[in-house]
């Protein structure tokens, strides 16, 4: 910058001014010389020297000025650059400040937005929680209201039921005023459909000449007569018969006996005061010497077609003269255990049932063991098998003598059962059903829910009609009568050591329970005719098949030409198969589910169980069976 050339115009201006000033100064300061020529040359020389010095000085000054000017300009430019740099730095600082301010504002705004978002989320969750709690409170309130309504409804229903019970009991007490009478066992009842019912017998004078009408009770849905309660008859054994729509019939649920002419009548025994008869001996024979014998006139009593009430309307049965034929029972049986799988083959293993039949002695027995013993670690089949075996031994050791009265046979069977029961040592429980055929009469003794049917063919021999159905004995629903052998208290310690802790705990909790005995068994006497079919089965059969189903299946086998043994065997097997198939059906309204609904319980489908069926057919020894 300092070596640049001067502006020519400026330099010329300086030269002019310098020449004028130098020349003037030279004139004024000329030294004194001795001559004129010498003076002029000296002046020129001096002026030139001064001019050269001045020029030199001037150039030096110009250079200094120029240098100073340039220095000034440089300083000015540097100052300007410094100002620009400072301004730039200020701008950068301002930018940084603005950036930080914006970042700070952005952070504040972001925090504000996050806070707003959190507040909105909290508000939304709070709203949801409030709505949920509100709905829950409404739901609880509604539930409380519904529970209250339900309770009020139940109370209302219970009150209505209670009122109805009180009203009905009042009406019953009013109508059946004798209901609390000690002689209620002397009440005569007819529980079957009829238009008019009356009784006649040896209790009137003259005997069999007067008919005592029975009153129909809409509450009991039965005909009844309190003649023996209201009239103080002498203790004795009275014969009677029902006159149902002009037909002379007997009630199969009452005691049967033959009169002096060999006719079968119902028997009603009037005892002395404080004397009662157990239910189990309802069909036994009572010796007339123990009572005052009634005076009987020589009056003929019409015979009945059957010893059971279900024989009403016997027009289609076999003719009466066939009853004089001597018949024998041919047996067939089949037993299957509780199936584990639906399509598995039927097996006898692990079956808790037991049975036996004897063609020569015309006797059969069936025992249904209680499978719940398996949950206590005991084999439920041991007790029924031992009971059956003991009964066979007792029967073989105490044969039925020919001199025994027909109506003492049931007592004889009960005695054998009681002896067999006392000899059992295995723990368990079982129902029991046994029967024996003597002189065309089937004598049975039953305890529990095993049952049997008696089917009689009509005139075409291809259709069957049920003439008898044994009623099961049950304490309550699915709780039948049964014989039981329980461990004694002295055996508890030994049983606990063997691992039967749950059984001992159960027995201790139910130490006051009462058990059924052979004396609680129910006896029946049914007269049989040729071609009558007796179907005996455990509850596994009758809980799954209705009587109409059993009759339908039996009628199908009547179309085949089979031997008696083959007919009984195949029919028994088919009944077991059909009962088990129904037991697997969960939508089938079985007899078991129907009985459950009567006790207020909900159950749908069949009931799988061990199933045993014995089929017996009554034939004359020389008869050909179709």
Query: Has residue 170 got a pLDDT over 60?
Result: yes
Convert 180-191 into a string of H (helix), E (strand) and C (coil): HCCCHHHCEEEC
User: Higher confidence at residue 107 or residue 302?
Assistant: 107
- Range among 159-168, 232-241, 505-514, 531-540 rated most confident: 531-540
Q: How many CA atoms lie within 13 A of 33 on its CB side?
A: 13
Instruction: Calculate mean pLDDT across residues 560-584.
Output: 90
Q: What is the pLDDT of residue 30?
A: 47
Q: What is the pLDDT of residue 179?
A: 62
Using alpha carbons, select from 436, 389, 426, 420 the residue that is nearest to residue 517: 420
CA distance 492 to 177: 51
Q: What is the pLDDT of residue 623?
A: 53
**Domain boundaries along the sequence of the chain:** 8-175, 179-290, 328-338+348-620
Q: How many CA atoms lie within 13 A of 460 on its CB side?
A: 7
Kindly state the tokens that stand for 180. 């609390």
How deeply is 282 buried, as exposed, middle or buried, from its count of CB atoms within 10 A (0-12, 13-18, 19+)? middle
Q: What is the pLDDT of residue 18?
A: 61
Domain 328-338+348-620 has CATH 3.60.40.10: yes
Cβ atoms of residues 184 and 229 within 8 Å: yes
Q: What is the pLDDT of residue 17?
A: 64
Kindly state the tokens that stand for 468. 């008898």
Q: Minimum mean pLDDT among 44-53, 83-92, 532-541: which range?
A: 44-53
Query: Has residue 222 got a pLDDT over 50?
Result: yes
The total of other beta-carbon atoms located within 10 Å of residue 97's CB is: 11
Q: What is the pLDDT of residue 550?
A: 93
Query: Has residue 306 got a pLDDT over 80?
Result: no
The label of the residue with tokens 């309770």 reads: 151
Cβ atoms of residues 337 and 354 within 8 Å: no
The CATH number of the domain covering residues in 179-290? 2.60.40.10
Instruction: Calculate mean pLDDT across residues 471-481.
Output: 85
The torsion angle over the Cα atoms of residues 485, 488, 494 and 499, rounded to 10 degrees, is 50
- 533 band by pLDDT with thresholds 50, 70 and 90: very high
Q: Minimum mean pLDDT among 189-203, 335-349, 496-510: which range?
A: 496-510
Average pLDDT, the chain: 78
Q: What is the pLDDT of residue 489?
A: 73
CA distance 349 to 343: 16
Q: Minimum mean pLDDT among 172-186, 350-364, 431-445, 491-505: which range?
A: 172-186
- 512 band by pLDDT with thresholds 50, 70 and 90: low
Instruction: Give the DSSP per-residue string, 423-435.
Output: H--S-EEEEEEEE
CA-based R_g, the chain, Å: 63
> 386-406 b/e with 16+ CB inside 10 Å = b?
bbbebbbebbeeeebeeeeee
Using alpha carbons, select from 244, 265, 248, 257 the residue that is nearest to residue 191: 244
The label of the residue with tokens 């018949």 reads: 327
Q: Max CA-CA distance within the chain?
A: 229
| pLDDT single digits (tens) 240-275 | 999 999 888 888 777 777 666 767 788 888 876 543
Query: Has residue 524 got a pLDDT over 50?
Result: yes
Kindly state the tokens that stand for 31. 């030294």
Question: For 245-300, where are the E strands, in sequence order?
Answer: 247-249, 255-258, 264-270
The span from the first CA to the last CA of the chain, in angstroms, equals 153
- 624 band by pLDDT with thresholds 50, 70 and 90: very low
Q: Minimum mean pLDDT among 6-10, 171-175, 402-406, 607-611: which range?
A: 6-10
CA distance 258 to 28: 204
Cβ atoms of residues 266 and 251 within 8 Å: yes
SS3 161: helix
| pLDDT single digits (tens) 408-427 | 788 888 889 999 999 998 88
Query: Has residue 331 got a pLDDT over 90?
Result: yes
Q: What are phi and psi of 544, to 5 degrees?
A: -120, -20
Pairing state between β 533-537 and 236-244:
unpaired
| pLDDT single digits (tens) 11-62 | 676 667 666 655 555 554 545 444 545 556 776 777 778 778 877 887 787 7
Q: What is the pLDDT of residue 405?
A: 67
């Amino acid at each position: 910058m300092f070596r640049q050339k001067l502006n020519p115009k400026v330099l010329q201006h300086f030269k002019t001014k310098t020449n004028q000033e130098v020349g003037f100064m030279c004139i004024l300061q000329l030294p004194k010389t001795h001559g004129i020529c010498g003076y002029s040359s000296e002046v020129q020389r001096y002026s030139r020297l001064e001019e050269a010095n001045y020029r030199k000085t001037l150039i030096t000054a110009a250079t200094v000025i120029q240098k100073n000017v340039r220095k000034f300009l440089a300083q000015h430019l540097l100052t300007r650059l410094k100002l620009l740099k400072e301004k730039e730095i200020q701008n950068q600082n301002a930018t940084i400040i603005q950036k930080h301010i914006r970042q700070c504002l952005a952070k504040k705004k972001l925090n504000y937005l996050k806070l707003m978002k959190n507040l909105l989320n909290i508000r939304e969750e709070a709203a949801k929680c409030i709505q949920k709690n509100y709905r829950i409170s409404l739901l609880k309130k509604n539930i409380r209201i519904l529970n209250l309504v339900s309770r009020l409804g139940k109370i209302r229903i219970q009150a209505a039921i209670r009122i109805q019970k009180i009203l009905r009991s009042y009406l019953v007490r009013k109508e059946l005023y004798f209901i609390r009478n000690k002689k209620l066992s002397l009440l005569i009842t007819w529980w079957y459909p009829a238009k008019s019912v009356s009784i006649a017998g040896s209790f009137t004078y003259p005997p069999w000449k007067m008919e005592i009408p029975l009153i129909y009770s809409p509450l009991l849905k039965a005909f009844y007569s309190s003649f023996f309660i209201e009239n103080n008859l002498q203790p004795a054994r009275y014969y009677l018969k029902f006159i149902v729509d002009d037909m002379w019939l007997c009630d199969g649920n009452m005691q049967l006996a033959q009169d002096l002419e060999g006719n079968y009548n119902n028997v009603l025994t009037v005892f002395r005061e404080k004397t009662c008869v157990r239910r189990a001996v309802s069909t036994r024979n009572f010796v007339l010497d123990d009572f005052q014998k009634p005076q009987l006139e020589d009056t003929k009593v019409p015979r009945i077609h059957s010893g059971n009430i279900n024989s009403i309307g016997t027009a289609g049965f076999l003719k009466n003269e066939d009853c004089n034929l001597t018949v024998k029972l041919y047996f067939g049986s089949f037993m299957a255990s509780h199936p584990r799988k639906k399509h598995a083959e039927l097996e006898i293993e692990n079956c808790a049932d037991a049975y036996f039949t004897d063609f020569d002695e015309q006797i059969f027995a069936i025992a249904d063991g209680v499978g719940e013993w398996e949950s206590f670690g005991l084999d439920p089949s041991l007790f029924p098998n031992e009971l059956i075996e003991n009964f066979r031994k007792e029967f073989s050791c105490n044969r039925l003598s020919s001199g025994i009265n027909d109506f003492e046979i049931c007592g004889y069977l009960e005695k054998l059962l009681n002896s067999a029961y006392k000899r059992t040592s295995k723990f368990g429980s079982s129902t029991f059903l046994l029967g024996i055929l003597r002189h065309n009469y089937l004598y049975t003794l039953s305890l529990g829910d095993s049952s049997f049917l008696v089917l009689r063919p009509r005139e075409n021999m291809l259709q069957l009609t049920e003439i008898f159905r044994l009623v099961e004995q049950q304490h309550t629903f699915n709780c039948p009568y049964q014989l039981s052998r329980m461990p004694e208290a002295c055996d508890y310690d030994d049983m606990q050591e063997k691992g039967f802790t749950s059984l001992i705990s159960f027995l201790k909790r139910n130490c006051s329970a009462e058990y059924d005995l052979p004396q609680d068994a129910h006896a029946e006497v049914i007269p049989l005719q040729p071609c009558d079919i007796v179907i005996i089965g455990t509850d596994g059969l009758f809980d799954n098949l209705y009587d109409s189903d059993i009759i339908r299946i039996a009628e199908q086998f009547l179309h085949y030409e089979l031997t008696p043994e083959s007919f009984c065997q195949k029919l028994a097997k088919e009944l077991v198969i059909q009962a088990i198939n129904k037991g697997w059906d969960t939508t089938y309204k079985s007899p078991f589910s129907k009985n459950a609904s009567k006790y207020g319980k909900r159950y749908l489908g069949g009931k799988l169980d061990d199933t045993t069926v014995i089929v017996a057919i009554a034939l004359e020894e020389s008869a050909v069976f179709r």
